[in-house]
């Protein structure tokens, strides 16, 4: 069953529907009497948690089961007690979006849809394109012209999506996609679609399964605000099913130039979209997060917070994570570490608690900024002498 988070109205899951008649966001209600307690640390993949997932596995590229690393070096350097990274870049197309798409595209097939569509800052389009290719259905992706990382664009093209650049930003593209899904009968797989979040909530399940306990804090980047809502839903389901007895704090990080949630949260003012979002972290260059109400609830209910980080802090954290821990993530993903560092400096977090940073996308998707900021030495002659000289 689908239920409106605002007015509580219920709808059948068999209906193609993205919002309530009142305009509110919908969520899938899971029957927690039927879920299985299989949290034994073994054979971790997304579909291990199928009893929590409201569709059959139809389209899969073996997503999930991503590594959870203890950050031994950074933990020491930052004088923290327990620091981990859940590296979602290890998914089949290199981002957490694959969790949403294995479920979302499976749902599209269940509903008999043969065309799917999304707006995207890059990763969603790459993932939708791959899962549609596997399912043998047509995909359309609308991306902000000139503002999508090259690797992500290449992925969408090679998987065979119809890629359409839009003169405008992500928020503009999403507006078109919402209208298209309503008027043209294409199935929308942006994170307003509640089935996407049903896949992404498995990040919570895996963290608990891998650690064997619930961490005190989860820190992650926030763009369209689907993932923070999904992970919170996952933890709440574990709690309500009686499998865990505490919940983590959810800490959402936005880029300074695209931080409408942070501004509303800090100033205790009503949420207002930002007209001209701008950041080097193009994945989260979003001014009007469609899921902001779910994200707001996640942070409030969990006693968490929203914080923003500058582009400079993001790039510094990206380099730090790669050079100290061997984990290369794209700029948006590095905002979780940048956020942790900033919150620690501001004494807004407890160094003795446990933290899991979610790194959402692989660094190879967006290498340009690294190359642009690094000057390679002049080529040397192919001889040992020449090499010795530069050693």
Q: Which residues bind ligand F0G (CB under 6 A)?
A: 95, 97, 120-124, 191, 221-227, 283-284, 330, 332-333, 360-361
Least distance from ligand F0G to the Cβ atom of residue 222, Å = 5
Our CB check for ligand F0G shows the closer of 35 and 139 to be 139
HSE-CB for 11 with a 13 A CA cutoff: 21
Least distance from ligand F0G to the Cβ atom of residue 163, Å = 13
Our CB check for ligand F0G shows the closer of 208 and 232 to be 232
Would the annotation count 360 as a binding residue?
Answer: yes
d(CA 237, CA 288): 27
Our CB check for ligand F0G shows the closer of 87 and 354 to be 87
The tokens for 302 are 């969990």
Would the annotation count 223 as a binding residue?
Answer: yes
Are 362 and 224 in contact by the 8 Å Cβ rule? The answer is no
Radius of gyration of the chain (CA): 21
Would the annotation count 91 as a binding residue?
Answer: no
Would the annotation count 185 as a binding residue?
Answer: no
Least distance from ligand F0G to the Cβ atom of residue 221, Å = 4
Least distance from ligand F0G to the Cβ atom of residue 284, Å = 5
Least distance from ligand F0G to the Cβ atom of residue 194, Å = 13
Q: Is 226 helix (H, G, I), strand (E, B) or coil?
A: helix
Cα angle: 344, vertex 348, 354; to 5 degrees: 65
Are 157 and 185 in contact by the 8 Å Cβ rule? The answer is no
Would the annotation count 151 as a binding residue?
Answer: no
d(CA 117, CA 125): 9
Our CB check for ligand F0G shows the closer of 35 and 220 to be 220
Would the annotation count 224 as a binding residue?
Answer: yes
Our CB check for ligand F0G shows the closer of 39 and 170 to be 170
Least distance from ligand F0G to the Cβ atom of residue 359, Å = 8
Our CB check for ligand F0G shows the closer of 351 and 367 to be 367
Our CB check for ligand F0G shows the closer of 40 and 368 to be 368
Instruction: Provide the 8-state DSSP code for 33.
Output: T
Would the annotation count 64 as a binding residue?
Answer: no
- Using CA atoms, how far residue 75 sits from 20, 88, 174, 256, 308, in Å, is 44, 20, 39, 25, 21
Least distance from ligand F0G to the Cβ atom of residue 202, Å = 14
Closest CA to 74 of 252, 305, 340: 340
Pairing of strands 249-255, 305-309: parallel
Q: Which residues contact 158 (CB under 8 A, 6 or more apart)?
A: none
d(CA 381, CA 262): 53
Our CB check for ligand F0G shows the closer of 122 and 339 to be 122
Least distance from ligand F0G to the Cβ atom of residue 219, Å = 12
Provide the strand spans (E) within the chain.
Answer: 2-4, 10-11, 26-28, 68-70, 82-87, 115-119, 138-144, 162-166, 187-188, 217-221, 249-255, 305-309, 354-359
Binding site residues, as ranges? 123, 223-227, 360
Binding site residues for pyridoxal 5'-phosphate, as ranges? 123, 223-227, 360
């Amino acid at each position: 069953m689908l239920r409106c988070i605002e007015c509580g109205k219920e709808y059948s899951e068999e209906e193609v529907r993205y919002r309530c008649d009142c305009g509110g966001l919908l969520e899938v209600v899971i029957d927690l009497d039927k879920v299985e307690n299989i949290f034994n640390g073994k054979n971790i993949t997304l579909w291990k948690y199928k009893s929590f997932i409201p569709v059959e596995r139809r389209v899969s590229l073996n997503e999930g089961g991503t590594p959870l690393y203890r950050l031994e070096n950074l933990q020491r350097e930052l004088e923290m007690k327990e620091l981990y990274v859940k590296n979602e870049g290890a998914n089949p197309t290199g981002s957490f979006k694959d969790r949403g798409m294995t479920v979302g595209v499976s749902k599209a097939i269940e509903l008999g849809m043969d065309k799917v569509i999304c707006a995207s800052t890059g990763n969603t389009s790459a993932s939708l394109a791959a899962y549609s290719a596997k399912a043998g259905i047509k995909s359309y992706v609308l991306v902000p012209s000139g503002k999508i990382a090259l690797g992500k664009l290449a992925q969408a093209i090679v998987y065979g999506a119809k890629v359409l650049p839009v003169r405008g930003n992500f928020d503009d593209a999403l507006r078109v996609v919402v209208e298209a899904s309503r008027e043209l009968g294409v199935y929308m797989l942006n994170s307003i679609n509640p089935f996407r979040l049903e896949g992404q909530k498995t990040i919570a399940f895996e963290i608990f399964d891998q650690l064997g306990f619930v961490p005190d804090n989860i820190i992650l980047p926030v763009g369209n605000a689907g993932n923070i809502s999904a992970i919170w839903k996952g933890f709440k389901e574990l709690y309500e099913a009686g499998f865990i007895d505490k919940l983590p704090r959810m800490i959402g990080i936005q880029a300074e130039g695209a931080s409408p949630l942070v501004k509303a949260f800090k100033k205790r003012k009503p949420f207002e979209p930002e007209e001209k979002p701008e950041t080097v972290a193009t994945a989260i260059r979003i001014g009007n997060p469609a899921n902001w109400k779910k994200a707001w609830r996640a942070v409030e209910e969990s006693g968490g917070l929203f914080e923003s980080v500058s582009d400079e802090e993001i790039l510094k954290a990206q380099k730090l994570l790669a050079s100290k821990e061997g984990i290369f993530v794209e700029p948006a993903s590095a905002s979780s570490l940048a956020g942790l560092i900033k919150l620690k400096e501001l004494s807004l977090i407890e160094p003795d608690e446990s933290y899991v940073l979610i790194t959402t996308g692989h660094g190879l998707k967006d290498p340009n900024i690294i190359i642009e900021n690094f000057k390679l030495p002049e080529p040397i002659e192919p001889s040992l002498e020449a090499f010795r000289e530069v050693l």
